[in-house]
Structure formats: structure tokens, C-alpha cells
Structure 1
Amino acid sequence: MSTEDRRRMIVTAVLPLVAEHGTAVTTSQIARAAGIGEGTIFRAFKDKEELIDECIAEALRSDSVLEVLADIPLDQPLDRKLVEAAGAMSAYLDRIGAVLGAVAAGGRLRRKPPEAPEGEQPQGDPRRESFVAMNEAVAELFDPERDRLRGSAEDLAAMFTALQFTRARGSGLSSVDTMVDLFLHGAVEAG
């Protein structure tokens, strides 16, 4: 197994532990979860902090939610497509919240990425790129309904995606079905 493959395997195995224990996760727990010896951790990562940074980066990656959004059948009714999309985005945001919350509770937030060397372009903002990619995927869900929409598919997708990031979890309006209904039909009952 290549070092990169081993790193990915360890991060995948350890991510749930980081969500549960944050920075208090032990190398013994890490090794057990990954099915490796403790020394193997340090052949793949400089230290536990680097591993936790990689777990945070993995939690922030939007690949899995983008795959789910791409797999939503476009021929079903718009409300069903949006319920599926909201469910996928909610799970993604819950994962981010669990990992970042646990790490922050341990007194540590993600270290800032290193500055780009002089004369080189800085890397893009992965969170912004992720948000843009989600907007594009959600716009595709609106696209078959383009002739019935009160705005562009892109604008409605941006509003819908922003709503997912700000939705109050735990409130009576937090159910995905209720939120989609309110988004599509408004807050006032038809007369």
C-alpha cells in the first residue's frame, strides 16, 4: 500500500473517533480503529496533529454530497428532488459540525494552511469551491422545471443551498419536508 493510500485509509477509519473524541483521541484508539500498529501512524503522519488536520480536511470535503446530488433522478417531482438534496446536505453539515465541534471542544481549531511561497498563486478556498459546486449541482435539479420557475435555476439553487447552511436544527421548521415545502410554496397558507 502506498503512503498516500495508507494515509487515506487511516483518516477514513479515524474520522468517527475524531468526531466523538476530538483531540483527546489516543494513538491507541487510532491504531485499533485503523487495524494498524501505533508506529504505522507515525510512518504515515508526522504527528497526531497532522492526522487530525487531515481528518478535518476530510470532513470538509464535499465529494460525497456532490455524488449524492448527482445521483438524484431528474425525472422526479421537484419537491422530492429537493428533499433528497436537503437530506444529503444536512448529513454533510452534521459531519462537519461533529468533527469541528469535537476538535474545538478540545481547545484546538484547524491550523491555517501555509502561505503560498512568494511568486506563487495561493490555493483556492476549498469551502467556497465546495459551496459553488453544491450550487451547480442543485441548479441541475431545478433545470428541468426552468419554464415554471420564478427565478433562474442558478439563483434558486443559491438560495436553497444557503438555506441549508442556515437552517435551524432542532426547531419545528427543521424537518426537511417542511423546509422544502416552505421554500417552494411560501410561509402563508393559500387563501
Structure 2
Amino acid sequence: MTPPKAKRRRAPAMSPEERREMIVRATIPLVIERGSAVTTRQIAQAAGIGEGTIFRVLADKDELLDACVLETMSPGNSLAEIGSIDLDQPLADRLREAAEAMRAHMDRIGAVMGALQTTGGRIRTERPAPSGQVPDRQAGINPACDALAELFEPECDTLRLPPERLAVLFFGLLFTSSHHDSPQDIAEIVEVFLHGALTTSA
């Protein structure tokens, strides 16, 4: 006797917010590749959904592209990487890993913005501020500096300046140099930041 087939369990339904986030994340690589020329059909295929599903959680393609820009600019992923850095390793290695995480974040922003600009897409990088307030541009900087400050904490007793101040200086140094630095270039930036431009014999 053939045993009855087990019933396939249906995956739990996503909430509208989860569905929207899934669609946005699936769209970002397509935006980098095709810019604003990407079609909702291509997006639906990449996300593994029907094209109509997109418009159940997003008004139109412009809103989706806006959401992709905002998601790309969100520092969440790089902050998570910095927060997972092993504090037992040398400070130079901690700072190098943090710098590489932040550079990867900036490279992704540049790829999305560049693709949209070259294909004539509009770029709106800020959500409308509540009650007519001006959006806080420090919102993405402060968490990054807070995360960097934690990397300096193990050496707190030997630092010239408080960790918070060093974090601000290191952040500024990273983003005034080239965004196309190689890992070797980043290592040089960290070395000069920690030990200065002069050798001990100079």
C-alpha cells in the first residue's frame, strides 16, 4: 500500500512591510546593472513573484526606485559589520575592517546613484520630514562614529584623545580620501592615522 503523501506546508505569508523590503533588496542589484531602465517584469522575475505583487506594496516604479536609494543609503549593514569586529585583535586590524565595511557601503551608494544618473532616473534621497522639519543629515554619521568609538575602547588608557573624538577624526579621514582605495591603501591610512607621518627616527 502506498503511504499517503505528506502535505506540503505553505510558507508563512509575509507582511506588507516584509514583502516591500524583499522586493527592494531584489531590485537593488538590477538598478546597479540597468539603472532606471529596469522594468517591473525584470524585478518580479528576480524576486520570484508576480508583477502585480509589486504594486500591492508600492505605488509605482518611481516609489520603488526611491525605496532602493533609501535602503542603499541606510548604514545598517555596515554598522552591523563594525559591531561584529573582534575587539581582541590589534587596533589596526579593527580599524582596517571597519574602514573596508564603510568603503563597501559608500561604493554601493555610488553604484546605485551612478546607474540612476546615467539612465536619467530621478534621485530622491530623503523621506519627507514630519511637520515640515528639515531632515537630520547627521543621522547616518552619528551611529557610524559611535560604532567606531567602541573599537578604540580597549586601548582607552593609552589614547591621546577620547574614543569619541578619535572616531570622528578617523571617519573624516576616510571620507576625504579616495573612495577607490585598495585594501593596501586603507591599511596605509590606518597606519598613518595611528602612528603619524613621521618615522620614530625622524
Report the equivalent of 2:117.
104
Q: Distance in 2 between matches of 1:84 and 1:28?
A: 38
Q: Does residue 11 of structure 1 match 2:24?
A: yes
Partner of 1:86: 99
- Give, in whole Å, the separation in 1 of the partners of 2:180 and 2:126: 31
- Aligned length in residues: 187
Q: Which consecutive residues of structure 1, in runs of 5 or more, have no partner in the other structure? A: none
Deviations 1:47-85 (A, max 9, x none): 000000000010011111111111112222110110111
Paired residue for 2:145, among 135, 146, 168?
135
Question: Which protein is richer in helix relative to its size?
Answer: 1
2:82 is matched by which residue type in structure 1? L
CA contact (8 A) 1:31 1:37 kept: yes
**Amino acid of the residue matched to residue 55 of structure 2?**
F
Partner of 2:7: none
1:119-176 CA deviation, whole Å, 9 max, x = no partner?
A: x473742x42121001001001111111211111111100111222222134689722
Q: Which is greater in Rg?
A: 2
Return the alpha-carbon distance in structure 2 between the equivalents of residues 44 and 173 of structure 1.
40
Which amino acid is the alignment partner of residue 44 of structure 1? V
Q: Residue 122 of structure 1: which of 121, 130, 133 is its match?
A: 133
Instruction: State the match for 2:167 in structure 1.
Output: 157
Tell me, in whole angstroms, the C-alpha distance in 1 between the residues paired with 2:155 and 2:191.
16
Indicate if the aligned counterparts of 2:107 and 2:179 stay in contact, CA closer than 8 A: no
Indicate if the aligned counterparts of 1:74 and 1:81 stay in contact, CA closer than 8 A. yes
CA RMSD of aligned residues (A): 2.0
Paired amino acid for 2:35: G
Q: Is this contact kept in 1: 2:94–2:151, CA < 8 A?
A: yes
Amino acid at match of 2:156: R
